[in-house]
Amino acid sequence: MKRLLPLFLLVFSMITLQAQISVIYYEDFSNGMPADYSLYDQDGKAPFYTVFQGADAWIVLPTFADAAISTSYYSPAAASDDWMVTGQIDIPMASDPANKILASWFAFCTSSAYPDGYEVYISTTGNTVADFSTKIYNTANATTAGASQSYDLSAYEGQSVWLAFRNNSFDGDILAIDDILVGEFAPRDASVVDITNRGYNPEGNLNLTAQVFNVGHENITSMEVNYSIDGGAMVTATVNGLNIKPFSSGTVTHSTPWDATAGLHEVEMSVSMVNAGEDANPANNDINLATSVYSASNTVGRHVMTETFTSSTCAPCQPGNANLHNILNGLTEEEYPVVLKWQQNFPGTGDPYCTDETVLRRDVYGINSIPDTRVDGDYWFGNTNGITKNNIVNAASRPGLAEITATYMIDEDNQTVSIKGKLTPKSPTLFGTRLMMAIKETETTKNKKSNGETEFLDVVKKLVNGLEGVDVGGLAVDEEYPFDVTYTFEGDYRLPVDGQAVNRINHAIEHSVEDFANLAVSLWLEYPRDEYVLNAADADLETVSTDEPVSLTKFGIYPNPVADEFQVTLDLTDNLDCNLMLYTSDGKAALPVFNGTLTPGTHQIGAVVRDLPAGTYFLHLRSAQGLSIQTVQINR
């Protein structure tokens, strides 16, 4: 699922960096409600307690991507009449007769069952409610996906204006307004912002599709669409019948499929001849996509994963979790998925077992209401009360693109969890593909709050490598990636009073594990760009021993971060042929460090990096034991 709000921000950054368009005014609420905005609570009603506290007509909350929000959820049900008025905006004359001054904004609501509508007004006389008689936009139903709207301000050139946003919904939920923009726009400007195909694709015919944002003031009805593979010849086709309004996006699909072959490829897509005319800004007309193409004959079975975002303060979460558990209890061992629960910080003050990581995991999917369940990332997503058995078991029909095997051991006395295993990809891994490891508690009871739940299953306690996991990009098909990590839960148990940031567990000094014997480990491989899970696994609880000789017992880097030079330390028990190569964060080879045979003992290998730009790099150690990766941070 692609989210439109980040897309809008991406296009705005293009606008500001490529000076084809003059930005007159922009507000994204990242610093809260602007001081020169005027808010009017004309209905005088307080929001229902589960929505948010306070009686302000509009507020800004990080939970809603720092958008300005207003509610029409009252008890008893009633109509909202909440106004948000911008500060004064001075509209200049257009610099070119062909250009137009447009106002644009982004709006979404949080419930498709109880959608909020809104109105937009303009005034040239002042910023009180009485000053607004000219309505420039009206809808009864905003969408949960969100949409940008625009209005031609050419008639107001040379004047000062105020814009007013009015939530006039009856018994809705929450309305959000963001990214209010006034600018001067050329007639034709198509910006290619994404190739919507997955990063991982099966071999064979692949229809290439680009997402195009209209940054001009004309509706886009036609354009040329082009693609090339691995720098080869450009393939061009004309696409007609489009209707992409200003500051809206649309998808265009090339009529000639690409015959994709297994391996890594670079896809370039571009557009030209917009509405049969030249594009005003060719600099934003093309984009590249790294893609990994897999052979269907070399895939493995898929272990499905469910992620549920929930809270003990969320009333609909109780029946949602009951629905999910009833489904899980009816599955066979082969059908049973990896199950993760991410406790959240709302509604109200949130779940005591909410952590910074569980909140940030929600942001990966752009979730702003709960309960919400994801099946294998993007396969199925929606309200947990609506999930069915088929939504889970049918997900297994997709091929698994990696084999993950792992075991874990618990040392209750030292509060440690040790995880060991290997990852074997079945398609070359793209950079940005990350291996995730979650330590979860299979049952908790102390975090009960107001929704009637008394036990909570599969509650995530810690992501071993944080939200970023381990980037395993650069692996070849069937190239093993071994891992052996230990996580220590520090300090003593504490039960937070709620899920607010100030009260959450500080993992550096304390923990919230009720019973270490109930800990378990789940692992998955994901490609966040597409919200795509390549495969998942539950680690087995056991002690692992092996008769196979292990040559490499230590792979260390010091210092790290580094400015000029670092040392690689390798401890070996046997001869080892190995290659050390430093890669940039986007997968380009940056520095060869070593290639050859090392004898038993400790080896220190120097790497001079003073000529490399500052940033994040990855040191790959390839040997007969597989691939090991260390992150290297170069600071200046």
The domain that holds 163 is classified in CATH as 2.60.120.200
430 and 488 in a single domain? The answer is yes
Q: Structure pTM?
A: 0.74
pLDDT at 552: 80
The answer to whether 629 touches 619, Cβ cutoff 8 Å, is yes
The answer to whether residue 554 scores a pLDDT higher than 90 is no
The answer to whether 341 touches 310, Cβ cutoff 8 Å, is yes
Q: Quick one: average pLDDT of 281-297?
A: 95
Considering the domain boundaries, does residue 13 fall inside one?
no
Provide the terminal-to-terminal Cα distance of the chain, rounded to the nearest Å.
38
Q: 598: domain CATH number?
A: 2.60.40.2550
pLDDT at 51: 52
Backbone angles phi, psi at 176, to 5 degrees: -125, 135
520 and 559 in a single domain? The answer is no
The answer to whether 191 touches 285, Cβ cutoff 8 Å, is yes
Question: What is the percent of the chain where pLDDT is above 70?
Answer: 94
Amino acid at 615: G
β-partners of residue 59 are 69
pLDDT at 623: 85
The answer to whether 542 touches 586, Cβ cutoff 8 Å, is no
pLDDT at 133: 97
pLDDT at 247: 84
Cα(373)–Cα(308) distance, integer angstroms: 4
92 and 33 in a single domain? The answer is yes
Backbone angles phi, psi at 144, to 5 degrees: -70, -25
Domain end among 518, 541, 564: 541
531 and 587 in a single domain? The answer is no
Give the pLDDT confidence of 445-484 residue by residue, as tens digits: 999 999 999 999 999 999 999 999 999 999 999 999 999 9
Q: Which residue has 């060869």 as its token pair? A: 592
Q: Quick one: average pLDDT of 387-394?
A: 98
Cα(459)–Cα(442) distance, integer angstroms: 6
Q: Starting at the earlier edge strand, list the strands of the sheet with 601-608.
A: 552-558, 565-572, 601-608
Range of the domain at 219: 190-294
288 and 428 in a single domain? The answer is no
pLDDT at 498: 98
Residue 245 contacts by C-beta under 8 Å, 6 or more apart in sequence?
Answer: 150, 214, 219
Cα(438)–Cα(472) distance, integer angstroms: 17
Mean pLDDT of the chain: 91
The answer to whether residue 12 scores a pLDDT higher than 80 is no
Q: 365: domain CATH number?
A: 2.60.40.10
262 and 342 in a single domain? The answer is no
Considering the domain boundaries, does residue 602 fall inside one?
yes
Which parts of 295-376 are beta strand (E)? 305-310, 338-343, 372-375
Please give the tally of structural domains in the chain. Answer: 4
The answer to whether residue 23 scores a pLDDT higher than 80 is yes
Considering the domain boundaries, does residue 380 fall inside one?
yes
Domain end among 155, 185, 215: 185
Helix, strand, or coil (residue 129): helix
Considering the domain boundaries, does residue 12 fall inside one?
no
pLDDT at 3: 35
148 and 222 in a single domain? The answer is no
243 and 325 in a single domain? The answer is no
Structure tokens at 497: 């009073």
Q: Which residue has 């929450």 as its token pair? A: 174
206 and 264 in a single domain? The answer is yes
Considering the domain boundaries, does residue 558 fall inside one?
yes
The answer to whether residue 63 scores a pLDDT higher than 80 is no
pLDDT at 550: 64
The answer to whether residue 544 scores a pLDDT higher than 80 is no
Backbone angles phi, psi at 11, to 5 degrees: -65, -40
Considering the domain boundaries, does residue 14 fall inside one?
no
Could you give the angle at the alpha carbon of 411 between the alpha carbons of 409 and 413, nearest 5°? 170
Question: What is the percent of the chain where pLDDT is above 90?
Answer: 77
Q: Look at residues 141, 135, 128 and name the one whose alpha carbon lies nearest to residue 170.
A: 141
Q: Quick one: average pLDDT of 618-624?
A: 86
The answer to whether 131 touches 203, Cβ cutoff 8 Å, is no
The answer to whether 428 touches 477, Cβ cutoff 8 Å, is yes
358 and 494 in a single domain? The answer is yes
Considering the domain boundaries, does residue 195 fall inside one?
yes
Q: Is 404 exposed, middle or buried (0-12, 13-18, 19+ CB in 10 A)?
A: buried
490 and 606 in a single domain? The answer is no
pLDDT at 52: 56
Cα(293)–Cα(208) distance, integer angstroms: 14
Cα(320)–Cα(506) distance, integer angstroms: 29
pLDDT at 4: 39
The answer to whether 223 touches 242, Cβ cutoff 8 Å, is yes
Give the pLDDT confidence of 143-178 residue by residue, as tens digits: 988 988 999 999 999 999 999 999 999 888 889 999
CB environment 33-55: b (16+ within 10 A), e (fewer): eeeebbebbebebebbebbbeee
Omega prior to 257 cis, within 30 of 0 = no
Alpha-helix residue ranges (DSSP H) falling in 2-102: 4-17
The answer to whether 522 touches 440, Cβ cutoff 8 Å, is yes
Domain end among 541, 564, 579: 541
pLDDT at 543: 46
568 and 531 in a single domain? The answer is no
The answer to whether residue 585 scores a pLDDT higher than 80 is no
Considering the domain boundaries, does residue 547 fall inside one?
no
